[in-house]
């Protein structure tokens, strides 16, 4: 049996899981090597949910208090679906924003990921912000028009990653697979110009282009093995593994900060509307991967990070 550095990392994760469960009096499985519970993922999901609820409440209250007759600023809340990258399925059903193609079975794991094929399921987005307008009166004679700045103060996204096709491929080839829950999440703040046009009655169209400061976390650590070989992909190369930090330390290193673009439009009637946003970009990650036969590839590459979002919009 090959004793790879990933075996060492799994032992660290088990130690973290053990300490976490003892702290919160949770019941561990009899065999620690069968643990599928990931404490850092549970913590993150709960923290994001609590943060979203609190910020939504604060923003709603703020929007109601600062609303005035001049309407030089309008707050908004948006909640909806976020499609990230491409499906790993041949007959994918979700909208894809990278070339419109499915998973390439002839390509390596690295080639698929650099081209944005993450196997992401349909995810979720929650965001809030305000439009700050420069003019009180219309700039166009035919339709009331305002120009301003759209500041999306906070935007949260979450997608689970489905690698079932890869798992089935490797199992068919005689490999054992360590199954884990993979996911991608991001926190952004976006700022850019907006034009709002009142077409008729209460029907308004907002068109925006923004620059987004984004913190992205991609939890992807795939490992398959047999008695003679292994296949894997990780965003945590062996040289970055710290014995003292363990699983939680690895998790914090997976976050990347960068700037992305965002192009969107909202069609609203009164306070209710529908928003569409295209959120493209890329992040540079260190990686290590092997497709088997003892061949290991590592380095630093740009990985596409494109999203398409459709959201229900509530204007305050």
Rounded Cα distance, 38 and 273, in Å: 38
Q: How many CA atoms lie within 13 A of 187 on its CB side?
A: 12
DSSP structure string for 17-85: HHHHHHHTTPPPPS-GGG----HHHHHHHHHHHHHHHHHHHHHHHHHHHH--TT-SEEEEEEEEEEEES
Q: What is the mean pLDDT of residues 119-132?
A: 93
CA distance 129 to 74: 9
- Interatomic CA distance for residues 127 and 75, integer angstroms: 11
Tell me what pLDDT residue 165 has: 83
The CATH code of the domain at 5-315 is 2.40.160.20
- Tokens representing residue 205 in the block: 């169209």
Task: Determine which helix (DSSP H) or strand (DSSP E) holds 113, and give its type and residue range.
Answer: helix 109-114
Query: What is the arithmetic mean of pLDDT over 32-42?
Result: 45
pLDDT attached to residue 255: 87
How does pLDDT run across 68-79, given as a tens digit for each residue? 335 688 899 999
C-beta separation of 224 from 242 below 8 A:
no
pTM exceeding 0.75:
no
């Amino acid at each position: 049996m090959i004793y790879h550095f990933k075996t060492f990392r799994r032992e660290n994760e088990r130690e973290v899981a053990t300490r976490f469960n003892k702290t919160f009096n949770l019941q561990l499985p009899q065999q620690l090597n069968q643990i599928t519970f990931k404490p850092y993922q549970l913590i993150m999901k709960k923290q994001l949910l609590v943060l979203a609820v609190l910020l939504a409440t604060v923003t709603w209250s703020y929007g109601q208090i600062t609303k005035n007759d001049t309407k030089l600023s309008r707050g908004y809340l948006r909640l909806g679906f976020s499609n990230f990258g491409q499906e790993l399925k041949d007959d994918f059903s979700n909208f894809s924003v990278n070339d419109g193609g499915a998973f390439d079975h002839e390509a390596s794991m690295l080639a698929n990921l650099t081209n944005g094929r993450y196997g992401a399921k349909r995810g979720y987005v929650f965001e809030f912000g305000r439009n700050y307008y420069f003019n009180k009166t219309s700039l166009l004679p035919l339709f009331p028009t305002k120009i301003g700045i759209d500041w999306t103060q906070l935007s949260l996204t979450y997608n689970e990653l489905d690698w079932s096709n890869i798992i089935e491929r490797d199992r068919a080839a005689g490999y054992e697979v360590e199954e884990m829950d993979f996911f991608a999440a991001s926190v952004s703040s976006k700022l850019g110009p907006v034009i709002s046009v009142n077409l008729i009655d209460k029907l308004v169209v907002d068109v925006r282009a923004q620059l987004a400061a984004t913190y992205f976390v991609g939890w992807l650590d795939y490992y398959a093995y047999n008695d003679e070989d292994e296949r894997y992909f990780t965003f945590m190369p062996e040289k970055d593994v710290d014995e003292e930090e363990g699983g939680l330390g690895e998790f914090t290193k997976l976050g990347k900060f960068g700037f992305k673009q965002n192009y969107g439009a909202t069609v609203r009637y009164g306070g209710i509307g529908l928003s569409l946003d295209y959120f493209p970009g890329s992040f540079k990650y260190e990686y290590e991967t092997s497709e088997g036969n003892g061949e290991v590839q590592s380095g630093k590459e740009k990985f596409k990070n494109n999203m398409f979002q459709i959201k229900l919009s509530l204007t305050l």
